[in-house]
Chain A
């Protein structure tokens, strides 16, 4: 079960992800994010405060999102990862390609606005 709740803060899309992203629901997650992103968004912040689980299926979706944003000079930022989720990102080397912030406020502050 995964829920994505989005809001737009100026030209930044914030997506709160609640539940778990696994191989059986990753398509749902991917579509929810893709449908919410607009071409005018300069950055997307994925808030993982309520994300309890992710497998490589979810990492794949996140990488594809990051690639497509980068193609048009937009950015993907992550925030509020639990220790478990952070461990998955570190083992996978995703912490080297995606900025990870302690909170959504800090992620927003890191963007020049």
Chain B
């Protein structure tokens, strides 16, 4: 059994709603566990928010394509923001400091890397392309 789904968003925080609603429908259609649905929503929101905040491409299209078979979910994300490899250019997350010293930078990417099985970046002409893989456990 395989299924596909696409999100066509614009680089604006308002579209986070569309992201959540779209994924909710696809998760239901494709029979995701609530854990898988939660993690994919979170990962996509973190990466999408990075594009909006740091991509310097306000309102430009961001495409996210999901393809799912029984064993794994593959996600392809493309944006026309400035060249940005989140895997390299993000500060290491601070998960240890006391409250007064704790910084929040890098946490989004840390969550992405923890929750996904594979994350790859490449620059393709004018586009940033991320490929993510999540194994289906159920």
Contacts and interface: CB of A to CB of B under 8 A. Distances in A.
Given A22-B16, A24-B13, A97-B99, A55 B110 contact: no
A104 interface: no
A97 B45 contact: no
A55 B93 CA distance: 15
Max chain B Cβ within 10 angstroms of own Cβ: one of A55, A57, A59, A88: A55
A113 interface: no
A8 interface: no
Contacts of A55: 42, 45-46, 49, 108, 111
A63 interface: yes
B41 A92 contact: no
B29 interface: no
B54 interface: no
A56 B96 contact: no
A102 interface: no
Chain B interface secondary structure, helix, strand, loop or mixed?
Answer: helix
B111 A63 contact: no
Nearest to B18: A24
Nearest to A26: B13
A24 B14 CA distance: 6
Nearest to A66: B99
Interface in B25-81: 34-35, 38, 41-42, 45-46, 49, 52
Interface string A78-102: 0000011000100111001110000
B107 A92 contact: yes
Contacts of B122: none
21 contacts: A24-B16, A24-B17, A53-B20, A55-B45, A55-B46, A55-B108, A60-B104, A63-B99, A63-B102, A67-B99, A67-B102, A70-B99, A70-B100, A84-B35, A88-B42, A91-B110, A91-B111, A91-B115, A92-B93, A93-B94, A97-B99
Given A23-B52, A57-B49, A93-B94, 17 more contacts: A23-B13, A24-B14, A56-B107, A59-B107, A60-B104, A60-B107, A63-B99, A70-B99, A70-B100, A84-B34, A84-B38, A91-B110, A93-B93, A93-B95, A96-B95, A97-B98, A98-B99
Interface of B: 13-14, 16-17, 20, 34-35, 38, 41-42, 45-46, 49, 52, 93-96, 98-100, 102, 104, 107-108, 110-111, 114-115
